[in-house]
Amino acid sequence: MKLWKTILTAAALVLANGASALAARTDLVIGITLEPPHLDPTAGAAAAIDEVLYANVFEGLTRIGADGEVLPALAESWTISDDGKVYTFKLHSGVKFHDGSDFDADDVKFSLDRARADNSVNAQKGLFAAIDTVEVVDPATVRITLKNPQSSFLYNIGWGDAVIVAPETADTNKEKPVGTGPFKFQNWAKGSSITLIKSDTYWGAPVSLDKAEFRIVPDAAAAVPALLSGDIQAFPFFPDPESVAQIKDDRRFKVVIGATEGETILSINNKKPPFDRLQVRQAISFALDRKAIIDGASAGLGVPIGSHMSPANKAYVDLTGLYPHNVDKASELLKEAGLENGFKATLKLPPPSYARLGGEIIASQLRDVGIDLQIVPVEWTQWLDQVFTKKDYDLTIVSHTEPNDIDIYSRKDYYFNYDNPTFDKIIADLNHTSDEAKRMTLLGEAQKILADDAVVGFLYELPKVGVWDAMLEGFWENAPIQANDLTKVKWTE
């Protein structure tokens, strides 16, 4: 009797395994560290919103692909007038929102007008600043006229903040997002998980997954056991770089180290003495040992940078050799500046580990050249208030994660307090140039100026550490924008 039971159990197990071998899995649980405050990408800066919804639930006219390239999305194609000011978009037909209503040119006009309206609280309102008018030519054609030519326009409207929403559901997207993407929103158990399911009415190439659950795991120490126990099968932004070595040895998982658009820098208040002097800033750059910082603050995974550009970007120029680690040179420069006895300053550190860990190392490196830093840990809200808004700081460490954001150095009143008309001119020219080769030259010059001026201490590009089940494929390797595009993700057998 007992023997029979054993045989039956064994047979059942074989059958169960055999059945799963025939059909690949179609469900997936993805770990994320931060819970989105709400689910409307057009109404908040939190990266966690895009991590769940971008390309999955919401789509824009264009979209940004795995390598940061601009791809058509809801717009099938477009033409640009010779003066670079008029964009005519041809829209896909037969597109439906998840509530069953049809998508057409009116929705595009509504969405873009809403995002750039006076009372709009879109976190990236600047993306739409160049738009003069949005006109509906016919239900499948939209004409957008710009105030001045803007070469990054197609890229800008590919951001999560520029996705197309329906007028009927725009106000309820925060709780119940309704988009046109391949997945539709099913459920949000607050504090716990967000579940998306495949949309049967999707206009484009069908996705492989039937169900994707984003589970919120706030504690880095909990991420490893969650993967090992099989509860979570993918962590595209893995929060615990220290554990990467351990997981790499486990053949059940794939570890992919890619690049983000996060330039991690030692920001310097350029108007505050003695940092208003070039020698002092250059001395800081010479005093920094990037390798030690990368090893200590990102488990050796970051890529060094010499200016404000991701090494994964086409326009990247390698300027890391400009200020090699050289304590003598740094001391010499400080002496030239009349600061041979060193000086005291504060270093304000926001909560992320790259800042808190990196800060300790940088403080000790600068102490070697006589700069005595007092470390002040701050909360994000305090950082935004004191450092970013009021510019009440000497030095701080932060990762600028917005893609292609070298223009922040030309912004008036930005927290670097950096003012260089030559640089501003290059950024202005860049905005009006659409010729690719010329753009690359201008971007190269821009990087060079920032490095020469040692505006900030350029440290390293924040790595994207992706960990997922070895049977999964189709995740992004790099993070040109902070998103988890699931459209190509599937289980292999």
Partner 1 sequence: MTAYLLKRLAIALITLVLASMVVFAVLEIIPGDPARLMLGMNASADQVELLRNQMGLNAPLALRYLHWAGGLLSLDFGRSYTYSVPVIDLVRERIVVSLPLALIALALSTIIAIPVGLFSAGRHGRAGDTIAMGAAQLGVAVPNFWFALMLIYLFAVWLRLVPAGGFPGWSAGVWVALKSLVLPAIALALPQAAILARVTRSALIEVLNEDYIRTARAKGLPFRAVLWRHALRNAMIPVLTILGLQFAFLLAGTIIIENVFYLPGLGRLVFQAITQRDLIVVESVVMLLVAAVIAVNLLVDLSYAVVDPRLRSRQ
Residues that bind partner 1 (CB under 8 A): 35, 37-38, 44-46, 119-121, 123-126, 174-175, 189-193, 215-219, 221-222, 225-226, 228-231, 379-382, 384-386, 388-389, 400, 402
Q: Which two tokens stand for residue 378?
A: 């701050």
Minimum distance from residue 479 beta carbon to partner 1 (Å):
17
Is the separation of the CB atoms in 76 and 92 below 8 Å?
yes
Which lies closer to partner 1 via its Cβ, residue 159 or residue 286? 159
**Closer to partner 1 by Cβ: residue 226 or 322:** 226
Q: Is 74 exposed, middle or buried (0-12, 13-18, 19+ CB in 10 A)?
A: buried
H helix runs in 95-136, sequence order = 105-116
Residue 101 identity: S
Our measurement of the distance from residue 143's CA atom to the centroid of its chain's CA atoms, rounded to an integer in Å, reads 29
Nearer to partner 1, 230 or 324 (CB): 230
Q: Which two tokens stand for residue 223?
A: 């991420």
- The span from the CA of 254 to the CA of 72, in Å, is 30
Q: What span, in angstroms and rounded, lies between the C-alpha atoms of 450 and 483?
A: 28
Least distance (Å) between residue 377 CB and partner 1: 14
- Give the side-chain half-sphere CA count within 13 A for 470: 8
Judge contact between 330 and 286, C-beta under 8 A: yes
Determine which helix (DSSP H) or strand (DSSP E) holds 45, and give its type and residue range: none
Q: Taking the complex as a whole, how short is the minimal distance between the CB of residue 127 and partner 1, in angstroms?
A: 9
For partner 1, give the closer residue by CB, 26 or 382. 382
| CA gap 301, 292 in Å, rounded | 11
Closer residue to partner 1, CB minimum distance, 37 or 206: 37
C-alpha torsion 32→34→39→41, nearest 10: -90
Give the phi and the psi of residue 407 in degrees, each rounded to 5: -65, -15
Q: How far apart are CA 252 and CA 249, in angstroms?
A: 9
- Name the residue nearer to partner 1 (CB basis): 207 or 212: 212
Q: Which of 36, 462, 28, 48 is nearest to 241 (CA)?
A: 462
When the beta carbons of 16 and 137 are compared against partner 1, the nearer one is 16
Cis ω for the linkage preceding 274 (within 30 of 0): yes
Q: How far is CA 369 from CA 110, 380, 393, in A?
A: 57, 30, 21
* Phi, psi at 449, each rounded to 5°: -60, -45
In the bound state with partner 1, the residue whose beta carbon lies nearer, of 126 and 206, is 126
Q: Which is nearer to partner 1, 11 or 117 (CB)?
A: 117
Q: Which phi and psi angles does 453 have, rounded to 5°?
A: -75, -5
Query: Cβ(27)–Cβ(209) under 8 Å?
Result: yes
- Report, in Å, the least distance between residue 482 CB and partner 1: 12
Nearer to partner 1 among residue 241 and residue 370 (C-beta): 241
